[in-house]
Structure 1
Amino acid sequence: MNGIGKNIKKLRKERALSQEQLAERLHVTRQAVSSWETGKNQPDIETLESIAAVFDTDILMVLYGRSRQEESGEEKGAQRKRCVRNCLMWGAIALAGLMVHLMVKDKIMDWYYRFCYTVPVYLFALLVRPLCVFASAVAFMNGLCLIGDVR
């Protein structure tokens, strides 16, 4: 049996309908319902919409065996995990950048005043600080995502 046929049969049995009763409501023959359930034939899109209406569900339940609420719950859990992972990762990068900034800042400024050697100062200013700010911003936004649906 194919997936659609299994889903139609499952929905029909849950509603305690016979194939004949379902066929009457859909204005098709009992043999058509039987061929859908056995997988010999599949209903067209209008019939799928009618089947969903008869069972008072959405078309996803007929096609895939699960509804939009179930799908959105799974997606919400996956999105939450992704936000936690991103928040932790970018937060760790921001913290590492801040630690490097605090440890190296005095030495670089000392080199600058002693030798007028500006390359470390520019590298520090162009790489570490922007990375630290960017990582902090991304971690903050992912943290907000955990609190509520901000994105």
Structure 2
Amino acid sequence: MNAVGKNLKQLRQREKLTQDALAERLHVTRQAVSSWETGKTQPDIETLTTLAEALNADVRELIYGPGRIERPYARFQRRYIICTAVCVLVFLAWIVMELTLEPYLAELLGKGYIVWPIFVYGVTVSLFAYSAVGVFLPAVISLWGDIRLRSNRLRRTMAVLGLLFLSHYVLWASVLLLGNTWYPILRDWFYWLLNLPFARNGTLFLSGCLLFLSLNK
């Protein structure tokens, strides 16, 4: 298989097209497409241009290979619009609960009722709300500009950091739940660190940002 034939096959698979589907777009036979991919025949310049258009690719990608040519960044991509909308809905739900349910639960807590359900509620709501805000920021930026990380190593690093920040919050919740069973020094350190203004909810915000960047290819 020659280079053009190999590149043609990769581009066709990238677009999730069968040989029959591509042949239908080009108004040729499936055998012609198969012949190009196996290198038995070579498409001429005009056919290369038509192939590139049918595959939503650049002619240079057919010659040099997929991914070798930097493609223009498509603004307002559907996945970023959906991600932004979901984050906004989560944030609005959080505001509604803060204004309606939170005062009622605080009143019950002051009377000594249902302490642990209130705690679980607070931890869960904060987990989703602040993480959603962290995802929202890069998602909105991605509607206008390309902030994808090209390096797999860098994406893995962002994923590890995001999970570390997330585990930091989980440890804080564990300290509150099991505080009396932790070593006093370790328990006091977590109480001090995670009750700083930014430390507790800021870790969730950073976790959302970093995990978004690590998964955004």
- With structure 2 as the length reference, what TM-score do the two structures score? 0.41
CA shift in 2, pair 1:138/1:58, >3 Å? farther
Partner of 2:165: none
Partner of 2:133: 136
Partner of 1:100: 97
CA shift in 2, pair 1:132/1:6, >3 Å? closer
Q: Displacement, 1:146?
A: 0.4
Q: Displacement, 1:114?
A: 1.6
- Runs of 5+ unmatched residues, structure 2: 1-19, 60-70, 149-217
Max Rg structure: 1
Q: Displacement, 1:103?
A: 2.5
RMSD: 3.8
User: Could you tell me whether the CA contact under 8 Å between 2:23 and 2:30 is conserved in 1?
Assistant: no
Partner of 1:14: none
- Write the distance in 1 (CA, Å) between the matches of 2:45 and 2:57: 15
**Which consecutive aligned stretches of 4+ in structure 1 deviate over 4 angstroms post-superposition?**
2-6, 56-60
The structure where helix makes up a greater share of residues is 1
Q: How does 1:29-40 map to 2 (within 5 A)?
A: 39=29
Task: Give 1:55's aligned amino acid.
Answer: I
- Write the distance in 1 (CA, Å) between the matches of 2:30 and 2:113: 83
- Write the distance in 2 (CA, Å) between the matches of 1:104 and 1:4: 59
- Write the distance in 2 (CA, Å) between the matches of 1:83 and 1:127: 24
- Write the distance in 2 (CA, Å) between the matches of 1:5 and 1:104: 58
- Give the one of 78, 88, 100 matched to 1:81: 78
CA shift in 2, pair 1:61/1:133, >3 Å? same
Identity of aligned residues (%): 11
Task: Give 2:54's aligned amino acid.
Answer: G
Matched, 1:147 2:144: yes
Secondary structure class of the residue paired with 1:115: coil
- With structure 1 as the length reference, what TM-score do the two structures score? 0.55
Q: Displacement, 1:67?
A: 4.4
- Runs of 5+ unmatched residues, structure 1: 11-36
Q: Displacement, 1:66?
A: 3.9
